[in-house]
Structure 1
Amino acid sequence: MKLTHDGAVALLDDERLVFSVEMEKLGNALRYSTVGDFSLIPGILADFGYKPEDVDEWVIDGWDGDVSGTVALLDQGRPTEVVVGPYRESQACPALDRPSVSGTYPMDGESYPYTSYPHAAGHVASAYVSSPFAQRGESSFVLVWDGGLFPRLYWVDPDAGVENLGELFPLLGHAYAIAGHHFGPFRRDVQSNMVDDLSIAGKLMAYIALGQVDKGALAILREEFHRVFESDEPAAVEYRATVGGYGSLFEQSVPPVHEFYSAVRARVVDNGVSDEDALASVHAFFEGLLVERITAKVRGAKGDGPWNLCFAGGCALNIKWNSALREAPDFSDVWVPPFPNDSGSAIGAAALGRAQHAGMTPMAWNPRLGPALSPSPELPVNWSMAACTPEELARILHESGEPVVVLHGRAELGPRALGGRSILAAPVMASMKDELNRVKDREPYRPIAPICLEGEAPAIFSPGTPDPHMLFDHEVRADWRERIPAVIHLDGTARLQTVGPEDDSLLFTVLSAYHRLSGVPVLCNTSANLNGHGFFPNVASAAQWGRVSRIWSAGTLYQRTDG
């Protein structure tokens, strides 16, 4: 169980992941929702044919703290608190892959025993057990860079367990989002000592395409980073002595980041650097620092590679950093699961519990193990319904030039809509990007992702390698830029999702039929949800939203009849 933000409940039955249900994907809940009440859990289990008494072991993810963390929530509406593991390994719990806290928690009048591991351990476990390296019985480095954590490197050996290799540099992952509080459209005059807007990081990844990397700004970033965080100045020494990456709710790790950006801003503004160029430079600085430091750490720990690498934590949602790591010569392969942020923490907690009995062995899973579509209340009166095959859906996308909400099967794990809770559209008109951003209340500079038949991707994208989870950056080849303008970002790149016949048979059929009709094996794909909420849980929710006039689900096309 992951009780705090990005709350989720996951179940492993032997090595098989049965489900991972994130709270934000139930009933149009807000993004980052917590598990507010333990009494929700029996109902979630029942949806998949399980009862609480069927569960052999309960494991709760850790939270902010250096010895332990505390989570406050409800049970049947009554307040309760649970002591959990700390944010990462520490002197109090030096072994990341061993339980650091145990106790009991209340649920519906009963008491259940649980164990808890450090929060970082869940990221390590979820990334490794879902990886192709675990399937092959190979060891791997695992990099974890989470919001309240300094980037930390681990070595996972399926026989020997987890080895801690230490931090790369003393800066919490929230630093990327905090840049948006000092530069650009989300800049604030008064800064908070807390990180109170988790959506900014994703927006900044899009916004940086409006700027160019400035060499002078890079030099300033390097100098101020060293001064504030790694120098021998008294304030930097004090920072390193008192802040260890144990969670931004536990320690004063945010104010020094504001000091860093304030100093950078004062200097780059004097040099005439725009906010757009400053943010592009911040992104490039962190990317270079990450690759430089992990390369040195890997070589110092294990020697020349190339090696396997897993990347997890909220920072692993940064597709450009993921691609930079994949291109680094020290790594033969880089794995990022579709749930690298805290949406995968419940999976990691369950994997840690299983590891005490079976070791860090592979998990049988697929990315479509979220909640099923809930029964729809009655549709609004201005909607009709008719049978519609996937091939007919492709024809509608081609001939109408309008988007369609597609709600199909169980929801995706993690934050990316991969075809189960998506809005699909033809990519051949540049105006489609503007239309999709309009209906979703998004900023106009935000990109729309392409989905592409896996076999056609290398001819359209560079590198065009199979990437079924939309977590890496690809350039659109020159001869395709005018053919699919709706899915090209301002910098000529795209967050590609490839689709093979084994990934999603429905999507593969729709894409194949659209390819035959249009000569284009690509469609637009963006998540189907209310702004700031999780995916639509049923057809009625999408119809009540009503900003797209067609919805396809389970072989049925629903259409607005009022124009």
Structure 2
Amino acid sequence: MTAILGLSAFYHDSAAALVVDGRIVAAAQEERFTRKKHDADFPTNAVASCLAEAGLTPADLDWVGFYDKPVLKFERLLETYLAYAPRGFRSFRLAMPVWLRTKLFLPKVMARELGGYHRRFVFAEHHESHAASAFFPSPFEEAAILTVDGVGEWTTASFGHGQGNRIALTHQLRFPHSLGLLYSALTYYTGFRVNSGEHKVMGLAPYGQPVYADLFFKHLLDLKGDGSLRMDMSYFNYAQGLTMTSAKFHRLFGGPPRRPESPVTQREMDLAASLQAVTEEILLRMARHVHQTTGAKKLCLAGGVALNCVANGRILREGPFEDLWIQPAAGDAGGALGIALFIEHQLLGHPRTPQATDAQQGSLLGPAFSDDTIERFLQEKGADYTRYESDEDLCEAVAEALAGGQVVGWFQGRMEFGPRSLGARSLLGDPRNPEMQAVMNLKVKFRESFRPFGPAVLRDRAAELFAMQPGGESPYMLLTFPVCPEANLPAVTHVDRSARIQTVDPERAPLFHQLLRAFERQTGCPALINTSFNVRGEPVVCTPADAYRGFLATHIDLLAMGRCVLRKAGQRPLTQAEVVAHLAQFPLD
């Protein structure tokens, strides 16, 4: 047996992943356990969860890998600070303590945290980990690989080729020129939190017009035909300062950044639309160049920018590749899985056999809780619940509640790895109900009303509702498609008539598939609203206790945990003080 633990930590979205004899056994983000969104600390709880899934201890591990090379990253920081000195001193002074305490001494830190593990540690470059996470779990024997994010050590984007059990990255774009950092700069400027609010900017884009796109190309960046770019750094402040944009940027776009939580104006909508248009153009150019250079027919994507489902949809529909596979945990959390698979295949040379779907197992790689465990918890809480004797009975009852306009918390099986809820830790609703988007945004999620919801749809019915190829799939909610004109799905149709869809099949998500079938039998509709089970600022729920608190503190009507179903009418309501205390744990992101 060969057991390999992969780790990502100390920037944002720390995570752990365990690969045993080439199989992905478990993977989880630390935030789900600590309830601290984007937790960057060492993933102590995620490691424990992964090892428990396999019945192992740290002493049983053969290899431990870390997703980037801190010494190279430190080199980049020093060179950048020196290049901008003395302007970058304040940023340098704030950054150094954590480097001198932790990041430069990672082998000692990891050895301390993994008591009992006494073998070697492996460090891969950041984009190697992304590339490994993209290709090795994919269903492809051979494919091109494209990774795009903010920045790793020096690299901000890279591409190469994967075949069998090997990957090779051959080209790179280097800091400070970065599509990911451009997107983050506009996230900051439009008043959202960097490394957290980029998806909000993407969701805001359809409300605006790309009126500023020409200014991007004229002033901010020089874009080449191959998708490479150079940025005019006089408009940005992220290399040397504590903000993302400079006073020159603010003058160009007519004023200072929007204050967080202040009203969103037409300017922010138009900036978001412009940024999205520019992002899509850059990624399409990159994809075409990668295809021309590698000659590959299929493409694998990872890195934080690969979470841009609108751009991904355009690459699939308009790009030159026959097929596309995107790592569900495309951001830094996925680097933990990437380094584990990199060790398994690239370093150890162990063979890889692509699977017909993929090796990600629906990305349902986190902890699960048995019906008996859930029932004991509910009994301790004095909760009123019904336990159903079969999955069929459970799905029929939940489908009936959904058809009646209720919002359902759906807590089943193993927790998802990555930012998307995929039918294990989900909030569900009827997509035909035109009021459901506002109800779920404002009364359940407590988030901005413009935020769209994605639909989960039966894979064999998806092409009837969305403009996608028959037999096509989007199992990880990472692709956007136009909604067909005849489809009556107002709660999941964005203002531009698009939807970020999840296709559900019985192989990856059998129980969720069964629920969708039950809803279709009762209503004729093969789709549901599927959004993450959390409130704004909170990580997705992990445990029965997380789900139960969220159920009581919001306007969720029904909670299905395993085969136990709770209806709001039968529960002791939380006091106002208890609700406030629960929500206060999660600062607005």
The aligned residue for residue 281 of structure 2 is 288
Q: Does 1:127 align with 2:118?
A: no
Contact 2:310 2:479 in 1 (8 A): yes
Residue 4 of structure 2 corresponds to: none
Alignment of 1:73-472 (within 5 A): 81=102, 83=104, 105-107=111-113, 110=116, 112=118, 113-133=120-140, 137-146=141-150, 149-158=155-164, 161-167=167-173, 170-183=177-190, 186=191, 197-214=194-211, 217-226=212-221, 251-252=239-240, 257-258=245-246, 261-262=249-250, 264-266=252-254, 274-296=267-289, 298-299=291-292, 301-302=293-294, 305=295, 307-354=297-344, 355-358=346-349, 361=352, 364-366=359-361, 367-373=363-369, 375=373, 377-378=377-378, 380-381=381-382, 383-387=384-388, 389-438=393-442, 439-463=444-468, 465-472=472-479
Q: In the TM superposition, what whole-angstrom CA distance separates every residue of 1:156-190 from its partner, at most 9, and x where no partner exists?
A: 3446641321229922513213213334xx27xxx
Distance 1:501 1:555 in 2: 19
SS state of the match for residue 120, structure 1?
Answer: helix
Shift of 1:208: 1.0
User: Please, which runs of 5 or more residues in structure 2 have no aligned partner?
Assistant: 1-6, 78-94, 258-264, 574-589
Return the alpha-carbon distance in structure 1 between the equivalents of residues 250 and 279 of structure 2.
Answer: 17
2:80 corresponding residue in structure 1: none
Distance 1:109 1:156, change over 3 A: closer
1:52 aligns with 2:45: no
Cα distance in 1 for partners of 2:522, 2:331 equals: 38
SS in 1 for 2:269: helix
CA 289–42 in structure 1, closer or farther in 2 if over 3 Å, else same? closer
1:277 alignment partner, SS class? helix
Give, in whole Å, the separation in 2 of the partners of 1:434 and 1:14: 47
**TM-superposition CA deviations, 1:398-451 (whole Å, max 9, x none):** 443101111101001111000000011111111111111121111000011101
Greater helix proportion = 2
Identical residues among aligned pairs (%): 25
SS of structure 1 residue aligned to 2:486: helix
Q: 1:386 to 1:492 in 2, by over 3 A?
A: same
CA shift in 2, pair 1:536/1:209, >3 Å = same
- Which consecutive residues of structure 1, in runs of 5 or more, have no partner in the other structure? 86-100, 188-195
1:471-482 correspondence runs (5 A): 471-480=478-487
- Tell me, in whole angstroms, the C-alpha distance in 2 between the residues paired with 1:73 and 1:20: 30
- Conserved? CA contact 2:411–2:560, under 8 Å: yes
Asked if the contact 2:188–2:194 (Cα under 8 Å) also holds between the matched residues in 1, the reply is no
Q: 1:118 to 1:160 in 2, by over 3 A?
A: closer
Q: How many angstroms apart in 1 are the aligned matches of 2:509 and 2:312?
A: 24
Deviation at 1:49, TM superposition (A): 0.7
Name whichever of 529-538 and 424-433 sits farther off. Answer: 529-538
Change (3 A) 1:255 1:340: same
For residues 47 and 111 of structure 2, what CA distance do their matches in structure 1 show?
A: 12
> What is the DSSP-based 3-state SS (H/G/I as helix, E as strand, rest coil) of the residue aligned with 2:253?
helix
Quote the offset at 1:222 in angstroms.
Answer: 0.6
Residues in 2 aligned to 1:237 and 1:220: alpha-carbon distance in whole angstroms: 12
User: TM-score scaled by structure 2?
Assistant: 0.77
Judge conservation of contact 1:117–1:349 (CA < 8 Å) in 2. yes
Q: Distance in 1 between matches of 2:41 and 2:53?
A: 17
Q: 1:488 to 1:225 in 2, by over 3 A?
A: same
Cα-to-partner distance string for 1:304-340 (whole Å, 9 max, x where unaligned): x463211111111110111122223422222112111
- Are 1:22 and 1:343, in contact at CA under 8 Å, matched by a contact in 2? yes
CA, structure 1 residues 159+201, in 2 after alignment: closer, same or farther (shift >3 Å)? closer
The 2-side partners of 1:498 and 1:292 are apart by 28
The total of aligned residue pairs comes to 510
> Are the equivalent residues in 2 in contact too, given 1:178–1:258 (CA < 8 A)?
no
- Structure-1 separation of matches of 2:105 and 2:284: 33
* Cα distance in 1 for residues equivalent to 2:324 and 2:308: 14
Would the aligned equivalents of 2:144 and 2:296 in 1 still touch at CA under 8 Å? no
Q: Which amino acid aligns with 1:342?
A: D
Question: How many angstroms does 1:142 deviate by?
Answer: 2.7
Letter in 2 for 1:332: E
Contact 1:63 1:84 in 2 (8 A): no
Say if 1:68 and 1:84, in contact at 8 Å, map to a contact too. Answer: no
Q: In structure 1, how many angstroms separate the alpha carbons of the residues matched to 2:249 and 2:256?
A: 10
Q: Corresponding residue for 1:9?
A: 16
> CA 1:122–1:73 in 2, change beyond 3 Å: closer, same or farther?
farther
Counterpart code for 2:352: T
Q: Give the TM-score normalised by structure 1.
A: 0.81
Aligned to 1:553: 561
For the 8 Å contact 2:431–2:492, the answer to whether it is kept is yes
Secondary structure in 2 aligned to 1:470?
coil
Kindly tell me: are residues 396 and 291 of structure 1, through their superposed partners in 2, closer, same or farther at Cα, counting changes over 3 Å? same
Deviation at 1:55, TM superposition (A): 0.7
- The one-letter code matched in structure 2 to 1:428 is R
State whether structure 2 residue 478 is matched by structure 1 residue 490. no
C-alpha displacement of 1:140: 2.1
CA RMSD of aligned residues (A): 3.7
On the 8 A contact 2:145/2:299 being kept in 1, the answer is: yes
Answer yes or no: is the 8 Å Cα contact 2:558–2:565 preserved in 1.
Answer: yes
Whole-angstrom CA distance in 2 between matches of 1:121 and 1:15 = 18
Question: Is the partner of 2:385 in helix, strand or coil?
Answer: strand
Could you say which residue in structure 2 is the equivalent of 1:34? 40
Structure 1 residues 286 and 166 mapped into 2: Cα distance closer, same or farther (>3 Å)?
Answer: same
Partner SS for 1:486: coil
CA distance in 1, matches of 2:196, 2:490: 26
Take 1:256 and 1:508, find their aligned partners in 2: how far apart are those partners? 43
Q: CA deviation at 1:267?
A: 10
- Mapped partners of 1:331, 1:13: distance in 2: 32
For residues 233 and 529 of structure 2, the distance between their equivalents in structure 1, rounded to whole angstroms, comes to 49
Q: 2 CA distance for matches of 1:453 and 1:293?
A: 32
- Structure 2 counterpart SS, 1:26: helix
* Cross-structure match for 1:506: 511
